[in-house]
Amino acid sequence: MTKSIFARRRAQLLRQIGSGVALIATAPETARNRDTHFPYRWDSYFYYLTGFVEPEAVLVLVAGKKPRQILFCRDKDVTREIWDGYRYGPARARQALGMDEAHSITKLDALLPKLISDQPAVYYPMGAQQVWDERVIRWINQVKALVRTGVSAPGEVKDVRALIDDMRLVKDAAELATMQRAADITAAAHARAMRATRPGLMEFEIEAELLHEFVRNGARAPAYTSIVAGGANACVLHYVDNNAKLKGGDLLLIDAGCELDSYAADITRTFPVSGVFSAAQRDVYELVLDAQRAAIGAVKPGARFDAYHEAALRVLARGFIDLKLCKGSVDAVVDSKKYQQFYMHRTGHWLGLDVHDAGDYARNGKSRMLEPGMVLTVEPGCYIRPAKNVPKALWNIGIRIEDDVVVTKSGRHILTAAAPKQVREIEALMSSAA
Ligand code: GLY
Ligand code: MN
Ligand code: MN
């Protein structure tokens, strides 16, 4: 992504603020244990506005007649650069990012009270991190202590995320191109996992296939911990142990997506460990696929966000009745929420820099309208735990099918269409790999 894209976003945020100061810090590094850190992941809001991926950095935007874009970042440091690698330092960062000013991060406490003096409001991610809440209040109090010298302190503190969320929700062409590449890599990883799967392997061996495909394509991390769940493990929604042996008659549910250039993909596929669906597995699988097809059809500009969940739900409810999992009419199953024994999550979420991306789902109590450029997942499922009211042939079947979908002017585009999901496609792929 070019620096002009980030500059345009900063200019847009400055216009929205009108007058006041916005402050957005990147994420802290997190220690794993002695001398070792978790792989560093920058803050998504900060990245969206800067493209800068070094830790210890803060963006300050001063809105008003003479807007100023200011970056605080680490100084250059020859010794640290020998150990840890290149640092931009303020001067080069200012140039590379197209900021008006850049300063050492060590100057933040000295300069911030001056920057917020005589400003009506401070915008920052309020309540996200206690250290920043305390710091902002401290700076405001420092300005307040000077009121008798004629300066005024900001009267309002607002959450800057409310403004950025709406920007992040609608993706531009560069973001969509990146997300398409993330989706393609992830689709290839799922196909690779299907080809590699056979009875007797461990779930983590398949997880390794996914990670291999991500990393060899430049996606250095998964966007979230991969779920590789054989058999009954698929009925644990957030199963991440991935350490059981795969059994011939079972299904394998994989929910995994890479992060590429800071953007997430999020795909789930479910397929038979042996390469061939049993009759019962196929019945439930086709039901979930039908629900997904109906839901994807309900994704279009002007539709309510809730509409595609409702579309999936009605198909699932009909199927649960046919499979003797639920009794009564579709309306009764939906209204009584009896379906929740087998389908207990929503049908999807926004997708972008974060796997569960920024943006409201409802406004003033009403479901949000879909617009071109919004990206969401469509992920119905069915999870059948052993129970007295459940036919035994269906016990421990857990299925989810998840695709990533962009709302377009004329309807929708499925970013993840390359990941096989038809029964015959999956069976053909797996038999050709055997
Ligand atoms: N992989 C997380 C989700 O599907 O929401
Ligand atoms: Mn997922
Ligand atoms: Mn998802």
Instruction: Convert the pLDDT of each residue in 160-194 to its tens digit.
Output: 999 999 999 999 999 999 999 999 999 999 999 99
Does the pLDDT value for residue 371 go beyond 90? yes
- In degrees rounded to 5, what are phi and psi of residue 14? -60, -40
Ligand 1 pocket: which of 253, 309, 355 to mutate (most atoms within 8 A of CB): 355
The string of pLDDT tens digits covering residues 394-411 is 999 999 999 999 999 999
Q: What is the mean pLDDT of residues 287-292?
A: 98
Give the pLDDT confidence score for residue 1 in this predicted structure. Answer: 85
Residue 256 Cα: closest atom of ligand 1: 1
Share of the chain above pLDDT 70, in %: 100
Residue 26 maps to which CATH number?
Answer: 3.40.350.10
Split at pLDDT 50, 70, 90, the class of 121 is very high
Which residue among 168, 189, 224 closes a domain?
A: 168
Sign of the C-alpha dihedral computed for residues 409, 410, 414 and 418 taken in this order: negative
Question: Which DSSP string corresponds to 88-151?
Answer: -HHHHHHHHHT-SEEEEGGGHHHHHHHHHTT-SEEEE-TTT-HHHHHHHHHHHHHHHTTGGGT-
Write down which residue in 114, 134, 168 finishes a domain.
168
pLDDT in tens, 297-354: 999 999 999 999 999 999 999 999 999 999 999 999 999 999 999 999 999 999 999 9
Does the C-beta of 379 come closer than 6 Å to ligand 1? yes
Question: Are 372 and 282 in a shared domain?
Answer: yes
Does residue 291 contact residue 256 with C-beta atoms inside 8 Å? no
Cα Rg of the chain (Å, integer): 25
Same domain, yes or no: 277 and 190: yes
Residues 146 and 70 in one domain: yes
Report residue 209 as tokens. 């296939």
pLDDT in tens, 256-270: 999 999 999 999 999
Which domain does 327 fall in, by range?
A: 170-433
Q: How many domains does the chain have?
A: 2
- Of all atoms in ligand 1, which is nearest to the CA of residue 345? 5
C-alpha span between 206 and 230 (Å, rounded): 11
- Boundary-marking domain end, from 168, 189, 208: 168
Query: Could you tell me the CATH number of the domain that includes residue 222?
Result: 3.90.230.10
Ligand 1 mean position, distance from CA 374 (Å): 17
259 CB near ligand 1 (under 6 Å): no
Mean pLDDT of the chain: 97
CA 238 to centroid of ligand 1, rounded, Å = 9
Residues 226 and 157 in one domain: no
Q: Are 363 and 301 in the same domain?
A: yes
Question: Token match 């079947």: residue?
Answer: 397
CB of residue 261 inside a 6 A radius of ligand 1: no
pLDDT score at 57: 98
The answer to pTM > 0.75 is yes
User: In the predicted model, is pLDDT for residue 434 greater than 90?
Assistant: no
The rounded Å distance from CA 268 to ligand 3 centre is 8
Confidence of residue 90 (pLDDT cuts 50, 70, 90): very high
Q: In terms of domains, do 331 and 225 share one?
A: yes
Is the Cβ atom of 255 under 6 angstroms away from ligand 1?
Answer: yes
Q: 289 and 231 share a domain? A: yes
